Amino acid sequence: MCAYRMCTFGGMLCRVVPVLWLVLSVVSGFNLHAERPAVYGGPEGSYFGYSVDFYRPTPESSTLSVLVGAPKANTSQPGIIEGGAVYYCPYPPNPDSTKQPYSCTQIPFDNTNNRMIKVNGTREPLEFKSHQWFGASVRTHKGKVVACAPLYHWRAVKVNGEKDPVGTCYVAVQNFSAYAEYSPCRTNDPDPEGQGFCQAGFSVDFTKEGTLVVGGPGSFYWQGQVMTAGVAEILNGYSLKAVLRRVQGEKQTHAAADTHDDSYLGYSVAVGEFTGDSEQGKRQHFHPCVAVINSTNLTFIMNFTGEQMASYFGYSVAVTDLNGDGYDDVLVGAPLYMERERESKPKEVGRVYLYLQHSPLTFSEPLLLTGTHTFGRFGTAIAPLGDLNQDGYNGKLTDHNKCFSEPQACGLELGPMNISLWNI
């Protein structure tokens, strides 16, 4: 029995928790030093490092920075407690050691307080940004950035003023000079049976074309839902006042029969091309399996199955063409995978499975990349970094072979407070 997770075709995804590694394919030429890792830190208790992605203002730009989510960080938003933030961390980090580990600055996606409405003559909050977990997810695509607050609540369209965890996301373009909010589940369809518990932005990604893909695992009694919308359309005509706004060209999956309740579609999203054409498809998955589904008619195409129960196979999924053969390959994380050595206690180290797609929808047996630190939760987050060294490959399997024997040699390690970049 598979529980669903989901992905759409066209990019990749990551879900992240405090301790993790990112599979990374940085090669010599790109200036990362194993002996002196770049370490970034954030405020105590802010969950700095919960999510992470790399950022270039433009594809031509030579500067690379790291965007780090800290979903419990305090912000300058008046009256909001632990709204969460995304930090901009320049690489290399600020050399001034007196400022370490705070060389990162908060990106001002939203500086505002809760919007208010008048109910029977008294002003009441329309939304609740405290403890909204902004920065639980962050993704970049060619200068576009999205970051989400899955626990953002709003006062649903209800007489009693109950609040529903609809979730919300913000996009930024032009190197953080323009921002807009996208809250696809803030609709007239509240409560658990509708989109009230959607938690939009629990997972988020871009397609290769740059269309935003937002996962909301709580819609329709936790069947889950996936929304797609263009970033230009989100920005176009955006206004703080338009609370219930439909974005032009937006697509949403709809409620299915109640046998699909508790499927958590949208728990994680990843985007890739599995059909050999540019048609958008969708992929769903569930522990211990990851399913590829057809977005046109939402039927199952195939499943990847985990080898170990409770390993959280599918907790993270990423899609990228690692070997440059034109076919997207799939990486699946199982952060609670336990390694059993002869006659010793199992060690919870985590594992990443790499499936190479050698012809449309035909995948190799997985290559295995196993963590080395007990309780390190290797595979909690996977983020393909693209072609950092500009050799035309998003990764290099020759380099990855080294990762298989020495994962620490090719990783980005995130701790509860710090992030370290390592060379291979």
Ligand X SMILES: *[C@@H]1O[C@H](CO)[C@@H](O)[C@H](O)[C@H]1NC(C)=O
Residues 303-322 that bind Ca ion (CB under 5 A): 321
Q: What is the dihedral of CA 42, 44, 48, 49, to 10 degrees?
A: 100
Regarding 135 and contact with ligand X (CB under 6 A), the answer is: no
State the Cα–Cα distance between residues 227 and 405, nearest whole angstrom. Answer: 39
Regarding 82 and contact with ligand X (CB under 6 A), the answer is: yes
- Contact with ligand X (CB under 6 A) among 5, 15, 72, 144: 72
Q: Which residue has the tokens 């990604």?
A: 205
Q: Name which of 90 and 324 has its Cβ closer to ligand X.
A: 90
Residues 217-276 that bind ligand X (CB under 6 A): 275
Q: Binders of ligand X: how many residues, by CB under 6 A?
A: 35
Q: Name which of 66 and 229 has its Cβ closer to ligand X.
A: 66
- Contact with ligand X (CB under 6 A) among 18, 30, 37, 39: 39
**Cis bond upstream, residue 92 (ω within 30):** yes
Residue 297 near which of ligand X, Ca ion, none (CB within 5-8 Å, type-dependent):
ligand X
Q: Which stretch binds Ca ion (CB under 5 A): 107-115, 141-149, 324-332, 396-404?
A: 324-332
Q: Which stretch binds ligand X (CB under 6 A): 28-36, 221-229, 399-407, 411-419?
A: 411-419
CB 255 within 8 A of CB 220: yes
Q: Name which of 172 and 318 has its Cβ closer to ligand X.
A: 172
Residues 141-200 that bind ligand X (CB under 6 A): 159, 175-176
Regarding 81 and contact with ligand X (CB under 6 A), the answer is: yes
Q: How far apart are the first and last CA of the chain?
A: 39
Residue 323 near which of ligand X, Ca ion, none (CB within 5-8 Å, type-dependent):
Ca ion
- Contact with ligand X (CB under 6 A) among 18, 30, 37, 100: 100
Regarding 360 and contact with Ca ion (CB under 5 A), the answer is: no
Regarding 417 and contact with ligand X (CB under 6 A), the answer is: yes
CB 394 within 8 A of CB 384: yes
Which has the closest alpha carbon to 337: 359, 315, 317, 322? 315
CB 1 → ligand X: shortest distance, Å?
6
Which has the closest alpha carbon to 330: 340, 339, 338, 320? 320
CB 392 → ligand X: shortest distance, Å?
25
**β-bridge partners, 265:** 224
Q: Name which of 42 and 335 has its Cβ closer to ligand X.
A: 42
State the Cα–Cα distance between residues 375 and 342, nearest whole angstrom. Answer: 19
Radius of gyration of the chain (CA): 21
Q: Name which of 82 and 329 has its Cβ closer to ligand X.
A: 82
- Contact with ligand X (CB under 6 A) among 34, 119, 242, 244: 119
Record the tokens describing residue 73, joined without a space: 């960080």
State the Cα–Cα distance between residues 77 and 91, nearest whole angstrom. Answer: 27
Distance of CA 278 to the CA centre of its chain: 22
Regarding 348 and contact with Ca ion (CB under 5 A), the answer is: no
Regarding 116 and contact with ligand X (CB under 6 A), the answer is: no
Neighbours of 81 (CB within 10 A): 11
Record the tokens describing residue 346, joined without a space: 């199992």
Q: CA separation (Å) from 332 to 362, 367, 379, 380? A: 16, 11, 8, 9
Residue 72 near which of ligand X, Ca ion, none (CB within 5-8 Å, type-dependent):
ligand X
Residues 327-346 that bind Ca ion (CB under 5 A): 327, 329
Coil, strand or helix at 99:
helix
Q: Is 244 exposed, middle or buried (0-12, 13-18, 19+ CB in 10 A)?
A: exposed
Q: What are the b/e assignments for 296-313, b being 16+ CB within 10 Å?
A: eeeeeeebbebebeebbb
Regarding 53 and contact with ligand X (CB under 6 A), the answer is: no
Regarding 25 and contact with Ca ion (CB under 5 A), the answer is: no
Q: Kindly write down the DSSP assignment for every residue of 241-286, as one continuous string.
A: T-SS-PPTT-EE-----GGGTT--BTSS------SSSS---EEEEE
Residue 327 near which of Ca ion, ligand X, none (CB within 5-8 Å, type-dependent):
Ca ion
Residue 205 near which of Ca ion, ligand X, none (CB within 5-8 Å, type-dependent):
none
- Contact with ligand X (CB under 6 A) among 120, 122, 188, 405: 120
Regarding 291 and contact with ligand X (CB under 6 A), the answer is: yes
CB 351 → Ca ion: shortest distance, Å?
20
Regarding 57 and contact with ligand X (CB under 6 A), the answer is: yes
Which residues of the shown chain bind Ca ion in the complex (CB under 5 A)? 321, 323, 325, 327, 329
Which residues of the shown chain bind ligand X in the complex (CB under 6 A)? 1-2, 39, 41, 43, 45-46, 57, 72-74, 81-82, 88, 100-101, 119-120, 159, 175-176, 275, 291, 294, 296-297, 299-303, 415-418
